[in-house]
């Protein structure tokens, strides 16, 4: 029996496996190609105080992500992954609002923004790739990572130190106190 639905039904696991697929073919998770694989285009928008947004256009129906090209690569990557997470998790709200971004006027509820942050970190650092990298590079001392290892992991996955710390803790690694600014 076929269930008719106009909403996009993509599971978070689907995007994580696609991210792993990109990584396996090129040793890099290309977020623009990842977005494109869902038919979502990523554009640069260079404006003061602009971070990133996901926007929906009605005719023809299309989702686009905008990101500030003036920001550092790690920040841009997190922003694209965050907006892509909204596409996966909250496409109905994006369709309704036409525009979702992180400023006060256009953001979703704090819970939904937190969900998007969590999925973004999983897209950028899929658990199985993190384990593999740690294992292949002998970084794991009984699931305790040194500061140097955490820095290596962050740079390997092209994420900020803060994102790496939160993600590694989320996966269950023990980390020393690391100062970052």
The binding site for Zn ion (CB under 5 A) comprises 113, 116
CB of 172 to Zn ion, least distance (A): 26
Q: Which is nearer to Zn ion, 113 or 147 (CB)?
A: 113
Angle at CA of residue 160, ends 31 and 13, nearest 5°: 45
Quickly count: other Cβ atoms within 10 Å of residue 58's Cβ: 8
Sheet architecture: strand order including 62-67:
41-44, 62-67, 52-57, 99-101
Specify the residue, 114 or 144, whose C-beta has the smaller distance to Zn ion.
Answer: 114
**Residue 119 in contact with residue 85, Cβ under 8 Å?**
yes
Question: Minimum distance between the CB of residue 95 and Zn ion, rounded to whole angstroms?
Answer: 15
Query: Toward Zn ion, which CB reaches closer, 85 or 130?
Result: 85
In the complex, least distance from residue 62 CB atom to Zn ion, rounded to whole angstroms:
19
Judged by DSSP in three states, 155 sits in helix
Toward Zn ion, which CB reaches closer, 116 or 134?
116
Question: Residue 83 Cβ, how far from Zn ion at the closest point, in Å?
Answer: 7
Convert 69-105 to b/e letters by CB count within 10 Å (16 or more is b): eebeebbbbbbbbbbbbbbbbbbeebbebeebbbeee
CB 54 → Zn ion: shortest distance, Å? 8
Q: Which is nearer to Zn ion, 102 or 152 (CB)?
A: 102
């Amino acid at each position: 029996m076929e269930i008719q639905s106009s909403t996009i039904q993509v599971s978070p696991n689907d995007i994580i496996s696609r991210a792993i697929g990109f990584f396996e073919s090129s040793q890099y998770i290309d977020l623009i190609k990842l977005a494109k694989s869902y038919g979502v285009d990523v554009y640069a928008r260079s404006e003061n105080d602009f971070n990133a947004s996901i926007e929906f256009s009605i005719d023809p129906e299309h989702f686009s992500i905008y990101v500030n090209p003036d920001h550092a690569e790690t920040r841009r990557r997190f922003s694209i992954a965050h907006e892509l997470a909204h596409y996966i998790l909250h496409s109905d709200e994006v369709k309704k609002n036409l525009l979702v971004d992180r400023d006060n006027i256009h953001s979703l509820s704090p819970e939904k923004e937190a969900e998007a942050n969590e999925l973004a970190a999983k897209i950028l650092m899929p658990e199985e790739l993190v384990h593999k990298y740690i294992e292949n590079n002998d970084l794991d001392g009984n699931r305790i990572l040194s500061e140097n290892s955490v820095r290596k992991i962050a740079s390997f996955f092209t994420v900020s130190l803060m994102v790496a710390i939160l993600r590694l803790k989320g996966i269950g690694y023990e980390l020393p106190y690391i100062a970052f600014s």
